[in-house]
Structure 1
Amino acid sequence: MTATPDPALEAALDAFGPAEPAPDRAARKAHLEALEREMRSHAEAAAEAVAGDFGARPRPETLLTEVAMVIGAAQHARRHLRRWMRPERVVLPPHLWPSTARVDRVPLGRVGIIGPWNYPVQLALVPLVAAIAGGNRAILHPSEHTPRSAALIARIVERAIPDRARVLTGGADQARALAAAPLDGLFFTGSTATGRHIMAAAAQNLVPVVLELGGKSPAILRHDADIDAAARSIMAGKLLNAGQTCVAPDYAMVPREMLDRFVAALKTATEALYPDPAGPDYAAIARASDRDRLAALLDGLDPVPLMARPPAPPRMGAVAVIDPDPDHPLMREEIFGPILPVIPYDAPHEPRDFVAARPCPLALYVYGRDLAAARSEAEAIPAGGAVINEAVLHVGVQQLPFGGAGASGLGAYHGAEGFRAFTRPRSTMIARPSLARLVRPPYGRNVERILKSLIG
């Protein structure tokens, strides 16, 4: 990733250059309150901006998945900030008594946040909430693919916390320059391929990174699953934002004898959720390049339409693809659209083996009436997070860490985990006369006795 000089970035780096004392809890709460207030007052503007960027995005969907998420994150951080910031008292070993020690979580300092286009408001401002709770100063780059949303984010931040954060609204070159800047921390949300470039650029300055990436999140139906309920859950999660969601079910695995009933249930569920796919409740595919990419994924296949009346572009009708070749691009690439591969299986161990043989998914969904067995299945399969008998729901819970592993991400955030992502532990010890002084030279019998007690 080659970075080019950017005047706006250089100005932001200069403005946040000198080290300064970390803001106290009262100041951080005030910053979070200001962000929450501005997000609340710009709620309808956010719905309009995102809809304008996408071509069509349901207002309730934006208010729920973007605005409410930011407000909820800020409220949660304010409520728990005292506990998060509380120093950890450390019990020292006896030979150091009566010395004392503590561990504080201190800000990283000057951090960068690079947001994506699919949830442009939430995935820029929720990390910013965590950065502000951690006491940092942040340079934020929203996606250039959603310019209306980026302008709105800049207005919110400028009104709420201009002394703690700056927003850059340039293009991809500016994002590359931010990734290569001498920061104290970097947070990126986006594709796995771009995440590799971000990490390589940050490594030049030894900048610690959090990468929230994607992957192919499976939905696994066990033999005792409620087929109709599972189909409703999977399609609600799959078609949220028309599939442009990093934790959307990317494919489903179903016992072979349940395949026909499951496909029929998918159709019923989809038509119940979206009786009018051309209406205001169904989002558009935001980028023309993605519409072309999704169409190319279906070339040569025989997709099963799940909507009675497929909508016209920029929307795309939902389809299922039955038992695609495991090496087909549909099964190797993150789909990020309303296409659901459905893979039948015979033996109970096959879903576990299938998922484990591929890069770690960001999310895993297991459906079954026997909750203990479903949980056992979920625990045996690597994933960033798992949900039993539902899809996507966990992302909205601030008490749950959110992040991937391997190709689906590095590090986590939301709630306390976000605070930790934007802080580091620093130990402070107050040394008092102790037995430790006996190990100084010249060494003699006392040191030998101490060594024997320590080593055996």
Structure 2
Amino acid sequence: MKDINDATGVGPALAALRAAAPDPDRAARDAHLAALAREVRAHAEEIAQAIDADFGGRPRPETMLAEVGLVLESLRHARRNLKRWMRPGRVRLPPHLWPSRGRVLHEPLGVVGILAPWNYPFQLALQPLVAALAGGNRVLLHPSEHMPRTGALIARIVADAVPERVRVLDGGPEQAQAIAAAPLDGLFFTGSTATGRKVARAAAENLVPVVLELGGKSPALLMPDADLDEAAASIVAGKLLNAGQTCIAPDYALVPRDRMDDFVAALKRATARLYPDPDGPDYAAILRETDRARLAGLLEGARAEPLMARMPAAPRMGAWALIDPAPDHPAMQDEIFGPVLPVLAYDAPAAARDFVNARPTPLALYVYGSDVAAAEAEVAAIRSGGAMINEAVLHVAVQELPFGGAGESGMGAYHGDEGFRAFTRPRSVVVARRSLARLARPPYGRAVERVIASLLR
């Protein structure tokens, strides 16, 4: 505790959580989840209003579906499955230990930290919290400092639902840094790869296990037989959700060279159909002015095609396609996180596959094609955190599917069963009875030689 800067409030909050009752039983955990669900439902409209105000414009349906709805579904899923998750696993012991019995318990990590980002400020704070509470933990939660109204509302919701189990600290980046450096029992971070590296280094000083949900450049690969209009509609819907400020948004598209012009035309048709009024309530703003400037800079040095007939006013930004930018173009270096879609030509599927595999592992992969078997072969050949065929983004909403990256797109996974595992640790227990293993005790003789001979067979 002496290494924590108490001025951030982390030290006192951690001490209070350490003093709270550990390891609640299933009934208590279910009560925590039920209370949280009740408060989320009661504040649903207020959540949408707070996020809209913090963003400077966020469509209510996007917040209700991608934030409130996903959190409530994760709560329902956890409550339905909690008994199964907590049930000790039975283990078949080897013959030399018979008739002893073995089992595996899933115990809480203890006091864990959750560092949430700004792009989905409610969902990406509460979904990990659901998993942590299902796992029986006490939680130090830090909402993004870029979303002050949302952070304050999260603090109220948590205080009304689970005041003894969770402390919300909604200060600035120095507070998040103190949490990352604290002697916790586990740490969950969602954000950029660059910040994830810093979080992992800070946690490593105290040997704190981490789950890192990062980003990356998730490709959309169009096979030669892809339906261009269907693929374009899916890609535009996934790319322009939250104005591209989504970690699993299609980051760039790979298209057969002879279909490039047709695909760009399909992108324009899809954008006009999905967003007929870019200044209207269905299109989100770009939260930070620095991001708007960064995204505008990506339009330089490559052929930029507007996908909207009329570009919206700030703080919104219109959608653009970058046609065949060079590999060293800034748009091909880092995650774009906005409504700019590079469209790259390829001459053979093998070349597109090699292009993706030569780069850091993406968080998601989207393959489009009429021949599903061929598309599945591409998914099998390309490394990614998750994948979809003929659709984008929607896999994140399925609680039964683990969500996580690999390499630079993250480590560890959550949602559903994987979320429970992420916030618990397996503990082995053996109830010993007289067994042949006692023959291995000294003084050694012919009996132990027979045991050794049986092991070497």
Q: TM-score, normalised by structure 1?
A: 0.99
For residues 369-424 of structure 1, give each alpha carbon's deviation from its aligned partner in whole angstroms, at most 9, with x where no partner exists: 11111011111100000000000000000000000000000000000100000000
Residue 323 of structure 2 is matched in structure 1 by 322
Alignment match, 1:345: 346
Aligned-partner SS, 1:173 = helix
Residue equivalent to 1:183: 184
The Cα of 1:351 is off from its aligned counterpart by 1.2
Measured against aligned partners, the alpha-carbon deviations of 1:78-98 in whole angstroms (never above 9, x if no partner) come to 000011111111111111111
1:245 is aligned to 246
Q: How many residues get paired?
A: 455
The separation in 2 between residues aligned to 1:245 and 1:372, in whole angstroms, is 28
Residues 208-234 of structure 1: CA deviation (Å, up to 9, x unaligned): 000000000000000110110000000
- Counterpart in 2 of 1:309? 310
Give the match for residue 443 of structure 2: 442
Number of the residue aligned with 1:44: 45
Counterpart Cα distance in 1 of 2:421 and 2:110: 13
Per the alignment, in what secondary structure is the counterpart of residue 277 of structure 1? coil
Contact kept, 8 Å, 2:96 with 2:437, in 1: the verdict is yes
Aligned equivalents of 1:18, 1:60: Cα separation in 2: 41
Query: How far apart, CA to CA, are the structure 2 residues paired with 1:348 and 1:289?
Result: 37
Conserved? CA contact 1:215–1:360, under 8 Å: yes
Deviation at 1:7, TM superposition (A): 4.5
Distance 1:19 1:165, change over 3 A: closer
Q: Which one is further off, 187-196 or 370-379?
A: 370-379
**Partner-residue secondary structure (3-state), 1:249:** coil
Cross-structure match for 1:75: 76
The separation in 1 between residues aligned to 2:21 and 2:120, in whole angstroms, is 33
Assess if the C-alpha contact under 8 Å between 1:3 and 1:176 holds in 2: no
Structure 2 match to 1:35: 36
Distance 1:6 1:415 in 2: 36
Q: 1:312 to 1:32 in 2, by over 3 A?
A: same
Q: 1:208 to 1:192 in 2, by over 3 A?
A: same
The residue number in structure 2 matching 1:412 is 413
1:262 corresponds to:
263
Counterpart in 1 of 2:86? 85
C-alpha spacing 1:88/1:177, structure 2 compared with 1 (3 Å):
same
Distance 1:34 1:79 in 2: 15
For the 8 Å contact 1:352–1:381, the answer to whether it is kept is yes
The answer for the alignment partner of 1:129 in structure 2 is: 130
Residue equivalent to 2:390: 389
Whether the aligned pair in 2 keeps the contact of 1:4 and 1:173 (CA below 8 Å) is no
Provide Cα deviations, 1:10-52, integer angstroms capped at 9, x if missing partner: 1211101147441111111110011111111111001110011
| TM superposition outliers: structure 1 runs of 4+ over 3 Å | 2-7, 18-21
| Higher mean C-alpha deviation, range 18-27 or range 396-405 | 18-27
- Matches of 2:122 and 2:252, distance apart in 1: 27
Cα distance, 1:295 vs structure 2: 1.1
**Partner Cα separation in structure 2 for residue 447 and residue 191 of structure 1:** 56
Secondary structure in 2 aligned to 1:89? strand
CA contact (8 A) 2:5 2:11 kept: no
Structure 1 distance, partners of 2:211, 2:112, is 11
Q: Is this contact kept in 2: 1:254–1:343, CA < 8 A?
A: yes
Does 2:224 match 1:213?
A: no
Q: Contact 1:222 / 1:368 at 8 angstroms: preserved in 2? A: yes
- Output the amino acid matched with 1:427: S
After the TM superposition, which residues 192-231 of structure 1 pair with which residues of structure 2 at under 5 Å, given as runs? 192-231=193-232
Alpha-carbon distance, 1:350 to partner: 1.1
Aligned partners of 2:324 and 2:345 also within 8 Å: yes
The aligned amino acid for 2:310 is R
Shift, 1:301, TM fit: 2.9
Q: Secondary structure at the match of 1:186?
A: strand
Q: CA separation in 2, counterparts of 1:116 and 1:7?
A: 19
Give the whole-Å Cα distance in 1 for the aligned partners of 2:142 and 2:132: 14
CA separation of 1:95/1:19 partners in 2, compared to 1, >3 Å: closer, same or farther?
farther
Q: Distance in 2 between matches of 1:76 and 1:84?
A: 11
Q: C-alpha distance in 2, partners of 1:352/1:135? A: 43
Equivalent-residue separation in structure 1 for 2:158 and 2:210 (angstroms):
22
How far apart, CA to CA, are the structure 1 residues paired with 2:59 and 2:454? Answer: 69
Match of 2:11 in 1: 10
| C-alpha contact (below 8 Å) 2:302/2:323 kept by paired residues | no
CA gap 1:354/1:131 in 2 versus in 1, 3 angstroms: same
**3-state SS of paired residue (1:349):** helix
Root-mean-square deviation over aligned CA pairs: 1.0
Is the 2:116–2:144 contact (alpha carbons within 8 Å) kept by the matching residues of 1? Answer: yes
Q: Percent identity?
A: 69
Kept in 2, the 8 Å contact 1:231–1:266? The answer is yes
Match of 1:61 in 2: 62
CA contact (8 A) 1:3 1:173 kept: no
- Rounded Cα–Cα distance in structure 2 between residues aligned with 1:276 and 1:4: 49
Secondary structure at the counterpart of residue 304 of structure 1? strand
- Structure 2 spans left out of the alignment, 5+ residues: none
SS in 2 for 1:182: coil
- 1:411 is matched by which residue type in structure 2? G
Q: Secondary structure at the match of 1:254?
A: strand
TM-score normalised over the length of structure 2? 0.98
What SS is found at the alignment partner of 1:17?
helix
Q: How does 1:121-160 map to 2 (within 5 A)?
A: 121-160=122-161
Give the residue type in structure 2 aligned to 1:212.
E
